[in-house]
């Protein structure tokens, strides 16, 4: 040990990790983005040799052009909503932490799996801080996906593990694998939806149904591999709709969007549900997607553009609730959540989340596989048009 060495003070470096976006809305940029994203075996979990042929011969030659057109609709000329919102969210959390943590025991950064700043960029900055005597003694990673799934959280953990495999200095580290039951997420989601309902009612619009639309996943992952995602989605749905002031739980339905490929995904699918509700006379619909805390292609375009236009053709109107993004109270509450995860006692951490009772799961339809290997939802609506 060199003379004059000063042991580092206890400090936690928290990294908010998001997926990322393409560099720009062009076929070239989308080809690069999709190649990296879809090459992840956590994202596409089929035979790698078979998928390599499909990806390189059928997906990458054609899909980038179509995806570029979609991304162009949410491009502001410099960036995409996910990138901007994540950076601004981190800045606001940092500002709130400065107020509640004047000693600076918790610092926050953000990183993306597929966009700069990458995880390795944040790791480089930590190593540089060590040289200056200001490096954190603990690393905490919070993937900004509320519900756990192998394709998101586990993929991020793989990226971290890969990075650690290249490094000599490795801090004590912790990964938070979900936060969907936290007061910070649920309370602010409820407020976001209730505020939208109140504003619409003030304008004379009465909402008939709330569609809580989650990002989709293959049923096989739930039934055969035991992924927790479906249960986490149901818990999110239950905790939100049971706390709304301006809409009864019976007026809410849980759906799943963003299918990819021919394999059956978790049902009911969002589009048929919306079409069916409109056919039944429920023409004013509110849609919220709590799989995301920052608006992105799936919320801004898939729901806010495509689904809105489809609903018009079917004779209805879709009103979209924005993600939490940089909402002031959300940022404050998540700053407190972050600080408690880093510095709080076991009891403090226990108090961060809502608890569910066994009876809360009575209405959760179990997912089963048919004898021929196809998945189906037992107890879900008989046709995707009937609300749960």
Would you place residue 6 in the very low, low, confident or very high pLDDT band (cuts 50, 70, 90)? Answer: low
Would you place residue 333 in the very low, low, confident or very high pLDDT band (cuts 50, 70, 90)? Answer: very high
Q: Is the pLDDT of residue 143 over 50?
A: yes
Average pLDDT over residues 5-20: 85
**Cα–Cα nearest to 96, from 270, 336, 265:** 336
Which residue ranges form the domains of the chain, and what is each CATH number? Answer: 12-175 (3.40.50.1400), 183-325+357-377 (3.40.50.1400)
- Digit-coded pLDDT (tens) for 356-386: 999 999 999 888 765 444 444 433 332 332 2
Would you place residue 388 in the very low, low, confident or very high pLDDT band (cuts 50, 70, 90)? Answer: very low
**Cα–Cα nearest to 107, from 116, 97, 117:** 97
pLDDT of residue 4: 56
Place of tokens 């989340």: 353
The DSSP string of 209-226 is: EEEEEEEP-BHHHHHTT-
Average pLDDT of every residue of the chain: 91
pLDDT of residue 370: 59
Is the CB of residue 255 less than 8 Å from the CB of residue 215? no
- Digit-coded pLDDT (tens) for 159-189: 888 888 999 989 899 999 999 999 999 999 9
pLDDT of residue 330: 98
- Specify the range with the lowest mean pLDDT, choosing from 5-9, 333-337, 350-354: 5-9
Give the containing element (helix H, strand E) for 195.
Answer: helix 183-202
Give the containing element (helix H, strand E) for 2.
Answer: none
pLDDT of residue 209: 98
- Digit-coded pLDDT (tens) for 247-272: 999 999 999 998 777 788 999 999 99
Q: To 10 degrees, what angle do helices 27-38 and 63-72 make? A: 110
pLDDT of residue 78: 94
Average pLDDT over residues 77-87: 97
**Cα–Cα nearest to 320, from 231, 212, 224, 162:** 212
What is the spatial distance between Cα 376 and Cα 110, in angstroms, rounded to a whole number? Answer: 38
What is the spatial distance between Cα 288 and Cα 239, in angstroms, rounded to a whole number? Answer: 14
Average pLDDT over residues 25-49: 93
Would you place residue 3 in the very low, low, confident or very high pLDDT band (cuts 50, 70, 90)? Answer: low
pLDDT of residue 278: 98
User: From the centroid of its chain, how far is CA 74?
Assistant: 18
What is the spatial distance between Cα 322 and Cα 320, in angstroms, rounded to a whole number? Answer: 6
Proportion of the chain above pLDDT 70, given as a percent? 93
* Cis before 268 (ω within 30): yes
Question: Is the sign of the CA dihedral 265, 28, 161, 123 positive or negative?
Answer: negative
* pTM of this structure: 0.92
Would you place residue 135 in the very low, low, confident or very high pLDDT band (cuts 50, 70, 90)? Answer: confident
Q: Is the pLDDT of residue 387 over 50?
A: no
Contacts of 130 (CB under 8 A, 6+ apart): 8, 169
């Amino acid at each position: 040990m060199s003379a004059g060495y000063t042991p580092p003070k206890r400090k936690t470096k928290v990294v908010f990790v998001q997926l990322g976006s393409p560099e720009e809305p062009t076929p070239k940029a989308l080809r690069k983005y999709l190649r990296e994203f879809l090459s992840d075996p956590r994202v596409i979990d089929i035979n790698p040799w078979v998928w390599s042929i499909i990806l390189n011969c059928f997906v990458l030659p054609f899909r980038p052009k179509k995806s570029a057109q979609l991304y162009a609709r949410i491009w502001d000329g410099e960036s995409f909503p996910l990138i901007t919102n994540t950076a601004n969210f981190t800045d606001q959390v940092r500002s709130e932490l400065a107020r509640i943590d004047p000693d600076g025991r918790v610092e926050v950064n953000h990183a993306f799996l597929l966009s700069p700043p990458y995880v390795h960029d944040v790791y480089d900055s930590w190593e540089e801080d060590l040289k200056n005597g200001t490096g954190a003694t603990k690393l905490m990673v919070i993937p900004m996906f509320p519900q756990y799934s192998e394709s998101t959280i586990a993929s991020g953990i793989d990226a971290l593990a890969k990075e650690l495999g290249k490094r000599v200095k490795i801090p004590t580290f912790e990964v938070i694998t979900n936060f969907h039951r936290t007061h910070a997420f649920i309370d602010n989601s409820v407020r976001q939806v209730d505020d939208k309902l109140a504003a619409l009612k003030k304008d004379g619009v009465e909402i008939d149904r709330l569609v809580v639309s989650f990002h989709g996943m293959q049923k096989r992952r739930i039934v055969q591999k035991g992924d927790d995602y479906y249960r986490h989605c149901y818990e999110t749905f239950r905790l939100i709709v049971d706390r709304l002031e301006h809409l009864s739980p019976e007026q809410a339905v849980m759906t799943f969007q963003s299918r990819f490929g021919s394999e059956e995904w978790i049902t009911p699918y969002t589009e048929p549900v919306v079409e069916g509700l409109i056919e039944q006379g429920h023409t004013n619909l509110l849609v919220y997607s709590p799989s995301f805390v920052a608006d992105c292609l799936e919320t801004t375009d898939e729901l806010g553009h495509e689904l809105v236009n489809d609903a018009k053709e079917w004779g209805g109107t879709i009103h979209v609730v924005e993600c939490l993004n940089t909402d002031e109270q959300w940022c404050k509450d998540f700053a407190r959540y972050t600080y408690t995860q880093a510095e709080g006692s076991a009891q403090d951490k226990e108090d961060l989340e809502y608890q569910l009772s066994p009876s809360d799961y009575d209405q959760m339809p179990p997912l089963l596989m048919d004898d021929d290997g196809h998945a189906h939802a037992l107890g879900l609506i008989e046709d995707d048009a009937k609300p749960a």
